[in-house]
Amino acid sequence: MTELKYKDITEKIIGASFEVHKFLGNGFQEVIYQRALGYELYKAGLEYAREINQEIYYKDLPEPIGTRRADFIVEGKVLVEIKAITQLDDVHLAQILNYLKAYKFEVGLLINFGSKSLTFKRVVL
């Protein structure tokens, strides 16, 4: 069995997300979940940056073609995109896949706090 890349980090992020959802439930704006998740990531001993502009690269161009704000970059290795919507759709999965490619990350988590139960997808390029 192959070990999942950055499994230790993603498990902590998912655990922190469950803690946030358990306390807040669903129904808040995304920014509320971002702030709460930031606190739980800190408590879990994870280094993170929240809502920082990430450069977007295209093919082999050495210079970025623009920027986009990622919800979280954890331990400099895992991109986390959070939502507060009733359900995740293919467009949200496409968004994180595009972010992973553009930011040159291999592993991402798409986490939705807006449904009755916390939902997430682990995405690997």
Read off the pLDDT of residues 80-101 as tens digits, 9 standing for 90 and up: 999 999 999 999 999 999 889 8
Instruction: Output the pLDDT for position 2.
Output: 62
3-state DSSP: the chain helix, strand, coil percent, rounded to 5?
35, 30, 35
Whole-angstrom distance, CA of residue 55 vs CA of residue 65: 7
Specify if 1 maps to a domain: no
**pLDDT (tens place) for every residue of the chain, 125 residues total:** 567 899 999 999 999 999 999 999 999 999 999 999 999 999 999 999 998 887 888 889 999 898 888 899 999 999 999 999 999 999 999 999 988 988 889 999 999 999 999 999 999 98
Contact yes or no for 114/26 (Cβ under 8 A):
yes
Residue 16: which CATH number? 3.40.1350
- Centre a 10 Å sphere on the Cβ of residue 114 and count the other Cβ atoms it contains: 20
Specify if 28 maps to a domain: yes
Q: How far is CA 74 from CA 2, 25, 44, 71, 124, in A?
A: 22, 23, 11, 10, 15
Specify if 81 maps to a domain: yes
Instruction: Output the pLDDT for position 122.
Output: 96
Specify if 61 maps to a domain: yes
Contact yes or no for 112/84 (Cβ under 8 A):
yes
pTM of the predicted structure, to 2 decimals: 0.89
Domain housing 29: 7-124
Half-sphere exposure of 66 (CA within 13 A, CB side): 5
Specify if 49 maps to a domain: yes
DSSP β-bridge partners for residue 83:
112
Instruction: Output the pLDDT for position 1.
Output: 56
Contact yes or no for 114/85 (Cβ under 8 A):
yes
Specify if 2 maps to a domain: no
The tally of domains found in the chain comes to: 1
Specify if 35 maps to a domain: yes
Contact yes or no for 56/64 (Cβ under 8 A):
yes
Specify if 77 maps to a domain: yes
